[in-house]
Amino acid sequence: MYQFTNQIKNNSLNEVVLCIAFIFISSFIYAQDLANTTDVGVFSFEEEEINYGTIAQNANGERVFKFENRGRAPIVISKVKTTCGCTVPTYPKQPILPGQSGEIKIKYATNRVGPFTKSITVMSNAFESKKVLKIKGKVLAKNTTK
């Protein structure tokens, strides 16, 4: 009986040691992954949603999302997608170096009357590889704008 009780205690002790070792190794791996993410570009947008407010039909639909690369590596924007053809993006094709600024220009077709909300998805090599920006507003028929 004594031998059986000792065996149970030894097994429990082994499980505790294994558990502690697993936690230690996991935290080390996580720390390595975190260290690797510091050598990437990081978007910092002045604003992530632009509200056009109420605008007249056929008014200027151009707006600009300004950003800075606050990371430690260049950001390369590979693609910018919009939710419909009424929203046309223009974005830098060259890398945005750390500390540099850039702009993503959006032209919304204001010929359509009514409220709108559109998403713009920026795909890049930045830490957040898919960044969603939004525009919203309301287009009133030209003769009814307040």
Per-residue pLDDT of the chain (146 residues; tens, 9 = 90+): 556 555 555 556 667 665 565 565 554 444 444 445 568 999 999 999 999 999 999 999 999 999 999 999 999 999 999 999 999 999 999 999 999 999 999 999 999 999 999 999 999 999 999 999 999 999 999 875 45
Q: How many CB atoms lie within 10 A of CB 31?
A: 10
Structure tokens at 72: 């430690």
CATH code of 125's domain: 2.60.40.10
Domain count, the chain: 2
Q: For residue 102, what are the CA distances in angstroms to 37, 69, 73, 80, 127?
A: 22, 8, 15, 14, 16
Can you give the pLDDT at residue 31?
Answer: 44
Can you give the pLDDT at residue 38?
Answer: 66
Same structural domain, 129 and 102? yes
- Coarse DSSP helix, strand, coil percentages of the chain, rounded to the nearest 5 percent: 25, 40, 30
Domain housing 26: 1-37
Same structural domain, 33 and 47? no
> 34-55 in b/e burial notation, b at 16+ Cβ within 10 A?
eeeeeebbbbeeeeeebebeeb
Can you give the pLDDT at residue 142?
Answer: 82
Same structural domain, 107 and 49? yes
Q: Please, which residues have CB within 8 angstroms of residue 18's CB and are 6 or more apart in sequence?
A: none
Same structural domain, 3 and 70? no
Same structural domain, 112 and 136? yes
Greatest CA separation for the chain: 96
Environment class of residue 22 by beta-carbon count within 10 Å: exposed (0-12), middle (13-18) or buried (19+)? exposed
The pTM score is 0.72
Same structural domain, 127 and 67? yes
Same structural domain, 60 and 115? yes
Same structural domain, 2 and 58? no
Can you give the pLDDT at residue 146?
Answer: 54
Same structural domain, 27 and 86? no
Structure tokens at 88: 């046309």
Same structural domain, 120 and 62? yes
Same structural domain, 63 and 104? yes
Can you give the pLDDT at residue 143?
Answer: 76
Same structural domain, 76 and 97? yes
